[in-house]
Amino acid sequence: MTAGERDGTAEEVMQLIFALRSNGVTDKRVLDAIEKTPRAAFLDRSFKDRAWEDIPLPIACGQTISQPSVVGQMTQALGATPRCKVLEVGTGSGYQAAILARLARRVYSVERHRPLARQAREVIERKLHLSNVSIMTADGALGLPEQAPFDRIMVTAAAEDVPAILLEQLREGGVMVLPVGQTDDVQQLLRVEKTADGLQYSELSPVRFVPLLEGVAADVVD
């Protein structure tokens, strides 16, 4: 790992943990996973020195890496355990997948932009040496039916409503966390638990994510 991808200084780590706790992230496993995952490894060189700040930052393909407090909130709400098989829809930089990998048995992550999937795979496998993450380029709106059912599903792009096709791939007793909203300005982070009696919804916080788009991006060339 290069100097620009170093662990944070004690002060940087302390400030980030304070920001996470201030936003309701108190689960020790989640805090430890975030502290152990160098966000700088997922950023372009010009943004690496801001990696430990609690802000979203741009990445390739017009996407963003979420601010750590939002990542923490979503991860905590998901409640992944060491026995869980997790689906992530929207790999992006790979930062969220790397954090989930430290908490779950297996993580499958789907990305519609091939350059992002390739870069995320490079960081997770070759820099962080995490071996329980599979990243693939596909239409995330369809989920990953060949690997279903999943114990947990996280969606890192905003749908207009909770996608039925993803709910079908969630195991009974499983949890899905996703942003829902019809515009960029009005989105709500939801936790959905699939029980024997139906679906239980919990609203967590207002958020702002890119929209969940169908299909594979035009920048993908086989």
* pLDDT for 2: 46
Residue of higher predicted confidence among 133 and 214: 133
Is residue 221, in this structure, part of any structural domain at all?
Answer: no
Is residue 158, in this structure, part of any structural domain at all?
Answer: yes
Mean pLDDT of 102-129: 97
Is residue 220, in this structure, part of any structural domain at all?
Answer: no
Is residue 11, in this structure, part of any structural domain at all?
Answer: yes
Instruction: Write down the catalytic residue from 22, 66, 69, 134.
Output: 66
- How far is Cα 105 from Cα 82, in angstroms, rounded to an integer? 5
Q: Residue 186 is part of which domain span? A: 3-206
Which of 125, 108, 95 is closest to 33 using CA atoms?
A: 95
Is residue 190, in this structure, part of any structural domain at all?
Answer: yes
Is residue 96, in this structure, part of any structural domain at all?
Answer: yes
Is residue 215, in this structure, part of any structural domain at all?
Answer: no
Residue of higher predicted confidence among 185 and 3: 185
Predicted confidence (pLDDT) at residue 137 exceeds the cutoff of 60: yes
Is residue 138, in this structure, part of any structural domain at all?
Answer: yes
> Number of structural domains, the chain?
1
CATH number, position 153? 3.40.50.150
Query: Rounded to 5 degrees, what angle do the CA atoms 185, 179, 8 make?
Result: 95
- Residue 156 pLDDT grade (very low, low, confident, very high; cuts 50, 70, 90): very high
Predicted confidence (pLDDT) at residue 1 exceeds the cutoff of 50: no
Signed CA dihedral, 57, 85, 191, 162: sign only: positive
Token pair, residue 135, equals 């990243």
Predicted confidence (pLDDT) at residue 6 exceeds the cutoff of 70: no
Predicted confidence (pLDDT) at residue 149 exceeds the cutoff of 60: yes
Active site residue 131: no
